Amino acid sequence: MKPPSAGCWALSSALLLCSAPVRNDILTGHIVTGLEECGTRPLMDETATGSRIVGGHDAQPGAWPWQVSLQVYQFGVGYHHICGGSLVSNSSVLTAAHCTKKWMDPDFWRAVIGLNRLYRYQSDIVMSRVSSIMIHSSYNVYSYEHDIAVFKLIKYIPYNEHIQPICLPNTSLVLTNETLCYISGWGSSREQGKPKYILQEAQVDIISLHICNRYDWYGGAISWNMLCAGSESGDVDSCQGDSGGPLMCYFPDVSKYYLIGITSFGVGCGLPKRPGIYVRTSHYKSWIESCISSQKENTADIPFFLFFLIMGQVTLHLVE
């Protein structure tokens, strides 16, 4: 296994490197609390899940409370959905790096959280502009290796019945044949189609890399940092507009959902032997946590703080 790079680049008004938490106490503050209180669905009865879903269907409001719609502003059109994302803390959304391709500037973006019907903004949803975008420094646009990014939000997002963070797995989390895994998103149900109005969900199988890399499947293009999921026949899949969204699995022993993957790419949608490819999030846990803990304001404010300190010293000298 190739360990992911520890650093993450932030694209914002100032270009920042977040490789380590700025302050240690951040780790004992909101973030750890946020990660502990994760992966639960207050409006859903977990004992009721488990029936097999073929293809996607409408999700209930509150079914996936970490699902985010990442939207871009375009003149004449307004904001429109580009990619999915997953809320991982009160101010961080995890998504795919390739979503930022045409819009690297955080000012283009807003995140909508707690949504079920696209563009129908009810009182229980929260919208936030984006303060910085952190793209994995080893992201490769050709191979889609390390297709992972964190959007830091301007607002602190309070949790409620419709808004919850998802848990981040580490490499010790074991998936079995019985583990129930799902994908969700507003993506289209066919290639080049338009986004779906109601959030869609589907149960997926995790397909081994051994099968996924067969010569008549992906022929070796899928790395150990990726996961294949869907169904062997192709009936269940993610598609355009689902990118960046969650591949999540339920662990009944802890009664929590974990973000196992991030929707990344695939050949077409719903084709046999061409399942969806997902970023294997367990390989990026420390990278994600360092991005969550990075405090843009703290680092960006340092030059201003130094400026005022120096100006103060100069003034003092002039007065003396």
Q: How far is the CB of 147 from ligand 4AZ (least distance, A)?
A: 10
129's tokens:
């502009």
Which are the contacts of 40, defined by CB distance < 8 A and separation ≥ 6? 164, 255, 256, 257
Active site includes 243? yes
- CB closer to ligand 4AZ out of 38 and 239: 239
Q: Which amino acid is at 19?
A: S
Q: Tell me which H or E stretch contains 314.
A: helix 296-319
Q: Give the pairing of strands 256-265 and 276-280.
A: antiparallel
Task: From the candidates 243, 290, 293, 294, give the one annotated as an active-site residue.
Answer: 243
Quote the tokens at residue 54.
């073929």
Shortest distance, position 255 Cβ to ligand 4AZ, whole Å: 29
Tell the smallest beta-carbon distance from residue 34 to ligand 4AZ (Å). Answer: 28
CB of 4 to ligand 4AZ, least distance (A): 21
Q: How far is the CB of 29 from ligand 4AZ (least distance, A)?
A: 35
Nearer to ligand 4AZ, 69 or 238 (CB): 238
CB contact at 8 A, 10 and 219: no
Helices (H) then strands (E): counts for the chain: 4, 15
**How do 200-207 and 57-58 pair as beta strands?**
antiparallel
Estimate to the nearest angstrom the gap between the alpha carbon of 21 and the chain centroid. 20
Q: Are 241 and 67 in contact (CB under 8 A)?
A: no
Given 147, 238, 264, 293, which residue is catalytic?
A: 147
Asked whether 230 and 205 are in contact (CB, 8 A), the reply is yes
Between 126 and 239, whose beta carbon lies closer to ligand 4AZ?
239
Nearer to ligand 4AZ, 12 or 189 (CB): 189
Name the DSSP class of 258.
E
Q: Is 98 a catalytic residue?
A: yes
Q: Which of 81, 98, 136, 283 is catalytic?
A: 98
Q: For binding to ligand 4AZ (CB under 6 A), which residues are involved?
A: 237-240, 242-243, 263, 265-266, 269, 276
Q: Which of 240, 294 has the CB closer to ligand 4AZ?
A: 240
Query: Using CB atoms, what's the residue nearest to ligand 4AZ?
Result: 266
Q: Catalytic residues, which ones?
A: 98, 147, 243
